[in-house]
Amino acid sequence: MYKAFFGFAENPFNMSPDPSFLFRSAQHEEALANLIYGVQSRKGFVVLTGEVGTGKTTMLECLRDFLHSQQIAYASLFNSRLNVQQFFEMVAYDFGLRCTRTSKTEVLFALNEMILERANLGRTTVLIVDEAHNLDWDVLEEIRLLGNLENRRGKMLQILLAGQPELDRKLEAPEFRQLKQRVALRCVLEPLQLEETLEYIQSRLTRAGLKEQTVFPPEILREIHFRTQGIPRLINAMCDNLLLTAFALETKVVTMAMVDEVAADMRLQWPGQRPFLADGNYAERTLREQRQYTPGD
């Protein structure tokens, strides 16, 4: 909507986990390197956790691009609210297994055959499960059993579980001691630090075609970081709304009043925040007070 007004070739703050907009923060870089290393060195189980909106699915998308480029067979499940039968059906479907997909025994048979065939050719196979914190106990147990296939070169099926921090807590439960012990690598995504948020926003603007940006003045960028607490999805939503608001007001510079309005519309919560008023706004806060905020407080 506002693309032409600001001179963007593409929408800079799209909400989709698009690898072409990947911002390589040190931790995202490390997480991706770990995921790739886990697969290449046949580590078996790798777990990626992070708060909502920190970039887990984006990392998995990047990993899928890598697997694709290396012709490594993978199945990825993005809906983890499955029972055991649905789980095996999805696995069979995603791997394109030729078998009666509704029969667990047949799926297991065909899956083992495929994994072994690939292992004999020196190839590995990957199962990716996103939103793994939602997995039922019995599905997690089936996944653990799938991870047992091994030859002298290492695990034959690499399993990546990604999910919110509840996943870690789930793996702490006594019944999952065995699975927990098998996790060879763990990666954690944290919210962005102030400097990273600034670079993140700049990288998206540059990628969308705006190299020298004057739309977000420095104090606005700091305020965006503070109010979104460095969560990429919230940063995207806030910046997108700010650009839309500026466009509606026919100005090319975002102001603190716009930040207030958008934060209220988004019902954002941040440390030291003034209470909500019935009209959807926050209780008044002076600009001077705002400037006294130290990000990370």
Q: Using the rule CB under 6 A, is 15 a contact of ligand ATP? A: yes
Identify the residue among 8, 23, 216, 226 touching ligand ATP (CB under 6 A): 23
DSSP 124: -
What is the C-alpha to C-alpha distance for residues 188 and 165, in angstroms, rounded to an integer?
9
Select from Mg ion, ligand ATP, none the partner in contact with residue 23, using the beta carbon and a kind-dependent cut-off of 5 to 8 Å: ligand ATP
State whether residue 90 is helix, strand or coil: helix
The pair of structure tokens assigned to 6 is 């600001």
- Enumerate residues 159-188 that contact ligand ATP by CB under 6 A: 164
DSSP secondary structure code for residue 215 in this structure: S
Check if the beta carbon of residue 88 is closer than 8 Å to that of residue 146: no
User: Site residues (CB under 5 A) for Mg ion?
Assistant: 56-57
Cβ(125)–Cβ(118) below 8 Å: yes
Binding mask 232-271 for ligand ATP (x = CB under 6 A): xx--x-----------------------------------
CB-nearer residue toward ligand ATP: 13 or 88: 13
Closer residue to ligand ATP, CB minimum distance, 92 or 221: 221
Which phi and psi (to 5°) does residue 240 adopt? -60, -45
| Contact status: 22 vs ligand ATP (CB under 6 A) | yes
Which of ligand ATP, Mg ion, none does residue 53 bind (CB under 5 to 8 Å by kind)?
A: ligand ATP
**Considering the complex, what minimum distance in angstroms separates the CB of residue 226 from ligand ATP?**
18
Which pairs with CB-CB distance under 8 Å and at least 24 residues apart come from 64-69?
64/128, 65/19, 66/36, 67/39, 67/126
3-class DSSP assignment, residue 178? helix
Nearer of residues 8 and 88 to ligand ATP, judged by Cβ: 8
For the chain, what is the largest distance between any 2 Cα atoms, rounded to a whole number of angstroms?
A: 68
> Would you count residue 133 as binding ligand ATP (CB under 6 A)?
no
Burial (CB < 10 A; 0-12, 13-18, 19+), residue 203, is: middle
Question: How many residues bind to ligand ATP according to rule CB under 6 A?
Answer: 21
225 near ligand ATP, rule: CB under 6 A:
no
Interface with ligand ATP (CB under 6 A):
15-18, 21-23, 25, 28, 50, 52-58, 164, 232-233, 236
